[in-house]
Structure 1
Amino acid sequence: MSLTLHLSIIALFVFSFPMDTPVSEIKKETPVIIEATILDESVVTAKANELKQQQENKKRLQQKQQDDVVKKLEQEKQDLQRLKAKRQQEEQEAKKQAEQLKVAAQEEQKKLQDIKQKLALEKKKQQEIDGQRRAEEKKREIEKQRKAKAERIAEEQRQLEAAKIEAEKQKKIAEVKKQKALEEKLRLDAVREEEENRQRAENARIAEKETADATALIKRKITQSWNRPVSVHSNLKCKIRIGLIASGDVMSVVIVESSGNSVFDDSAERAVRKASPLPVPKDPNIFQKFRSFNLEFAPDK
């Protein structure tokens, strides 16, 4: 009987665990070694009551847990319903806002269409204004080019007239300069000719003087070299052609006009040859007159 009681307690203890508890979570208790002894009835009863109380506590705990789960599920269901209602309300609000946005978009689209049409009209009007402005600008540019061309032609004409006037002026200046240059040339030519004439006259005078001086010297030397013959009367004269070289040496002596006295003529010829070389001018031009010249020999004059 005691053994049966102990087996019942163990069975009750085993089956008191929930079946859904994982085997791994079941706490392994140290097996109660039942000694085959006779237990005290009160102890067994107390132990049974304790086990029963534990079982009831566990049931109450399980019931409480189940109630909590049910309550939690109910709360979640209510929350879900509230969320669903809120979502439906939000969807309705969103749909309403979408409708409002659609209407607003349509109105905005209409406004945009109106603005586009207005802009198109403004653009067309602006294009017409721009076209008119460009036409005016083109007209002004053409007029400006016409005026510029007319001014350029006028300026070219003015420059041409000015160049023509300047050319005439320069031509007159050149003619005046040419006339002045010609007058100056004529004046210089006259001065030069006058100077040349003066120089020629001076040279002629000098040449004449040197010729006269040379002639006088030649006459004197010949006269000094003349030996008067005893039978020659005084106041006789003859003309002699004398040929000389640059050194003054006598190359030839010819009586071209006789005195009528051959003795006098011969003495004159001898006097010329004896006086050689005669004193001739150093200037070659003047000497040319003495290369062959006539000399009147009159020792008594």
Structure 2
Amino acid sequence: MWDLIRRYPVAFVLALLMHLGIIALMVFGLDWLNPPEPQLPKVNIVQATLIDERELRKVEEQKKKHAEEEKRRALEKRKRKEAEAKKAAEAKRKAELERKRKEEARRKAEAQKKAEAERKRKLALQKKKEAEKKRKAELERKRRLEEKKRKEAEAKKAEARRKTELERKRKEEARRKAEAERKRKEAAARRRAEQKAREAELAAQLEAEQDARERASITAAIKRKVENSWLRPPSAANRDLQAKVRVCLNESGSVLLVQVIESSGNDAFDRSVEAAVYRADPLPMPKSPRLISEFRDFTFIFRPR
């Protein structure tokens, strides 16, 4: 027990103070609530001491377990570090081997590269000599070819100049003939156009005369038919009256609209004229298609005899 007290003095003191406090509370703290009781036997102090020893042993065991756990962890940590160090050393060894391998490969590649460069240099020099030889031969060939082409070109130019002159003369002759032909055709076309113009003018004149005759004939026929259909109103008796009338017809001459546009001054006369036009329906229509549109909407002056 004294060995435990020496090893854990603080824990012992705290445990002792806690138990003494409990004992003091039990002995003195409740006197004012309860009647005085006989003083507790000393056996409780002994019991508290036994409890303190058990708890101290328990704390000792926990510390021992904790120390063992710490030792185990330290051992594992040391083993991990040793394994890591071993792994790092192995990696370093492999890296060194890889570096040496790469260095050897680089050295061999460099030597091979130099040998290849030397081979290429010699090959390039040989090719250069051959190329120079070919170049000179090609220059000579081209010179001879150019000379031949130059002479041929000069001959062709001379021939071309001769042909050009012949072609110019041929074209000039053709142009002269074409100009003469053009003028001849223009003159003929002008004569034909003038003839057609005269014929068209004559035809138009004939048509105009024919239309004028037919227009006058149809107008007179319409006036006669309207006048024959007219009934003189009493207010227009013995009076010389006239009215300008607008008439709209369809293609067959049926009356669509009658409108006095210039009054006679006599309403009965105006109405009688409109009625006469409607009674004369259908009115005569021209045969010429050129005049039909004129008589679809026309005016005339109605002046009875």
Q: TM-score range by the shorter chain?
A: 0.3 to 0.5
Q: TM-score, normalised by structure 1?
A: 0.46
